[in-house]
Structure 1
């Protein structure tokens, strides 16, 4: 067994580490390379397991003690515990089972393990669960992201409502302007018609006045002629009377 500071985090890294360690495969073709914490949670060890890579139950993490595999219940982990049966050679899929606090000798995702410990790779291996990503940080990060998304969503909704109201107002203003134009056009047409009627009335009135004046002139002329003839008759009568 060889002590390491970090375990493979994916299949590619596992194959590379297995090649360096010259691990083989079991009779079913499963890679026999493993990287697990010791039972005391003080170090990580990589080794080639000499045996069948069997199935493990959900809620279990693997460890190594005296060359033998050990099982640790992880159902109380905050997250990262296997939630279905899994194969031993797929340990890299569950980095929470290799994330240990070597000072306090506990799994970092175990709620009873102190979460405020800060160390380096030589004393505190994180293996896919960064030290800064303790449960509180994860929770606050998720809450922060949700708040940001909520604010963004509210902003978009407010903007869409404002845009809709603005479009409605513009449309209403356009309709009012159109109505005003049509009303002004109707008033202008009505004014022209009214002016035409007034002009016709003035022409009629002027014609009537001219007729009245001409009629008065004829009447005055006829009256003057009658008066002249009457005077002549009176003079003739007067002359005849004097002659007698």
Structure 2
């Protein structure tokens, strides 16, 4: 290893990689691959750019890279929420995988890890930190809004019970009135066909009530 620097962010494309490589004076390996690389240090406290003094190896998919200033190390990233390399790649093209270069330097973790807090400042590639913050804030905002809406619109259980009881009683009374009205109407029609109504003896009082009801209905 040689020409090692701690940086705030890593190059995001091939043009920026070439510019950084030229600035550091990096060479090429025996296969003509640029030896510039920018990765996290082993402690995840910062991003390090350097000229690797060796062959730029093919990195197995599912892995990012870290350095201790002397060597490059594989770091399993299959647990990332997104951005983990899905294909093998040359080590000097790691800039194509920003998630491997986006870290939270305070919590010492990759931002793409589910367990990594994304609300604190960290050293990242480009606007990755802001993107993660925005996504988290949007989710939390929508969640809180949903809770507020439910708390505002849902009626109290006591109000529901009272409404049900009142509605049931009103229905029973209405049906009872309809039934009584129908019975009395039919009874009245039958009595009209009779010339006399026997209103003597034990039926006298009943007949009196009946005649009074007939007068009311007429």
1:109 to 108, 112, 131: 112
Larger Rg: 1
In structure 2, C-alpha distance between the alignment counterparts of 1:88 and 1:139, rounded to whole Å: 34
Q: Which runs of structure 2 are paired with 1:89-100 in the superposition (5 Å)?
A: 89-100=92-103
Structure 1 position 129, deviation (Å) = 4.8
- Name the SS of the counterpart of 1:26 in structure 2: coil
1:178-198 CA-to-partner distances (Å, cap 9, x unmatched) read: xxxxxxxxxxxxxxxxxxxxx
Contact 2:102/2:129 (CA < 8 Å) preserved in 1?
Answer: no
Structure 1 residue 135: Cα displacement: 7.3
1:204-223 to 2 correspondences below 5 Å: none
**Corresponding residue for residue 30 of structure 2:** 27
When residues 128 and 12 of structure 1 are mapped into structure 2, their CA distance, relative to the original with a 3 A threshold, is same
Q: Secondary structure at the match of 1:3?
A: strand
Could you tell me which of 129, 132, 136 is aligned with 1:131?
A: 129
Higher helix share: 1
Specify which structure has the bigger relative contact order, considering alpha-carbon pairs within 8 angstroms and separated by 6 or more residues. Answer: 2
Contact 1:32/1:48 (CA < 8 Å) preserved in 2? yes
Q: Partners in 2 of 1:14 and 1:107 — Cα distance?
A: 21
Q: Is the contact between residue 60 and residue 81 of structure 1 (CA under 8 Å) also seen in structure 2?
A: yes
Q: In 1, Cα distance between the equivalents of 2:136 and 2:27?
A: 38
* Residue-by-residue CA offset, 1:211-242 (whole Å, 9 max, x unaligned): xxxxxxxxxxxxxxxxxxxxxxxxxxxxxxxx
Change beyond 3 A, Cα 1:66–1:132: closer
Q: Which structure 1 residue ranges, 5 or more long, are not aligned? A: 145-244
Secondary structure of the structure 2 residue equivalent to 1:53: coil
Deviation beyond 4 Å, 4+ runs, structure 1: 138-141
Say if 1:4 and 1:44, in contact at 8 Å, map to a contact too: yes
Which residue in the other structure is 1:43 paired with? 46
Q: How far apart are 1:116 and its partner, in Å?
A: 2.0
Match of 1:59 in 2: 62
Output the TM-score relative to the length of structure 1. 0.53
Q: State how 1:178-189 maps to structure 2 within 5 Å.
A: none
In the superposition, the TM-score normalised over structure 2's length comes to 0.59
Corresponding residue pairs, total: 137
1:61-210 maps to which residues of 2 (within 5 A)?
61-117=64-120, 119=121, 124-134=122-132, 137=135, 140=138
SS in 1 for 2:128: coil
Alpha-carbon distance change, 4 to 135 in structure 1, aligned in 2, over 3 angstroms: closer
Once the two structures are TM-superposed, the CA of residue 134 in structure 1 deviates from its matched residue by 1.4
- Paired with 2:126 and 2:77, the residues of 1 have a C-alpha distance of 17
Q: Give the alignment's Cα RMSD to 1 decimal.
A: 2.0
Q: Which runs of 5+ in 2 are unaligned?
A: 143-218
Per-residue deviation, 1:112: 1.1
Mapped partners of 1:129, 1:83: distance in 2 = 22
